[in-house]
Structure 1
């Protein structure tokens, strides 16, 4: 399941980046060559940048590419790897669930309730912000998957050594 999700995210991220590239290129062309800047491309690029950043963070979590700061000696972390990685994954998942899923759903609900639309594209902003709870759920899934993977790896190593 993780590999399929990875492939889907890769495809979506490449698609978003390609649309962004076309949008920004058209913006530059229309502004400097045609002398008539397109207003739609500016807003579209901003929304796609939000999607790229948030979905990219979810993808980075699944690939173990998130930032880490080593505060504890490496030897103590290696001895208690399941505990420390579980601790990290728990708080990443907690943050993603509380802020991105719950907060994102609330944000979407409010923007739909107040019928907020974007200025140029005139689409409901709830659709733009919907990426927050989706990415939060993906991050939670990756955290659970990676914790189980670490736990199984440690258990299989201890069985071979024991």
Structure 2
């Protein structure tokens, strides 16, 4: 079960990496077009700035689960590396639980509520006139990715801890 879940999480991260590559490519082209229209043609494009901002939101929220899965998220390795192995393990468990709870409550649940309320209110972006809920949809989707990766990391951390403990003496 854990192996299948880990494989699914790796597949999700590969899918997100593909999406992130497409977003970065689009972002580069859009910003380049915006600069070209502003400075070369002296007629700034009206849609490039807002589109780039929305893509950057999606890039950030979809990139967070990939960074977490790769262990490239922000951390305090200098501090943690000075601890003994047992304390280091407890800090790792605590860290995984905090990330998981934050991702679940704030990003997934709170982000879902934000999307629903924004769509209900009918708020649109100024230039593109698309519903702001679509921009905010990146938050619960990124939160879901963080929850799935966090569960996988916590599950593996707990599994390796139980594998490394000595067996109880036989009576």
TM-score over 0.5 for the alignment?
yes
- The alignment yields a C-alpha RMSD, in angstroms, of 1.9
Asked whether 1:6 is paired with 2:13, we answer: yes
Q: 1:10-159 residue pairs with structure 2 within 5 A?
A: 10-69=17-76, 70-71=78-79, 74-76=82-84, 78-158=85-165
CA distance in 2, matches of 1:111, 1:151: 39
Question: How far off its partner does 1:125 sit?
Answer: 0.6
Question: How far off its partner does 1:62 sit?
Answer: 1.3
Question: How far off its partner does 1:74 sit?
Answer: 3.1
Q: What is the TM-score of this pair, normalised by structure 1?
A: 0.90
CA distance in 2, matches of 1:156, 1:93: 23
> Residues 81, 71 of structure 1: CA spacing in aligned structure 2 closer, same or farther, 3 A cutoff?
closer
CA distance in 1, matches of 2:138, 2:153: 22
Q: What is the TM-score of this pair, normalised by structure 2?
A: 0.85
CA distance in 1, matches of 2:34, 2:91: 47
- Maintained 8 Å contact 1:27/1:42: yes
CA distance in 2, matches of 1:137, 1:25: 32
Question: How far off its partner does 1:82 sit?
Answer: 4.2
- Maintained 8 Å contact 2:30/2:52: yes
Counting matched residue pairs gives 160
Gaps of 5+ in 1: none
CA distance in 2, matches of 1:150, 1:134: 24
Q: Runs of at least 4 residues of structure 1 off by over 6 A?
A: none
- Maintained 8 Å contact 2:34/2:49: yes
CA distance in 2, matches of 1:128, 1:8: 20
Gaps of 5+ in 2: 1-7
- Maintained 8 Å contact 1:82/1:151: no
CA distance in 2, matches of 1:115, 1:153: 48
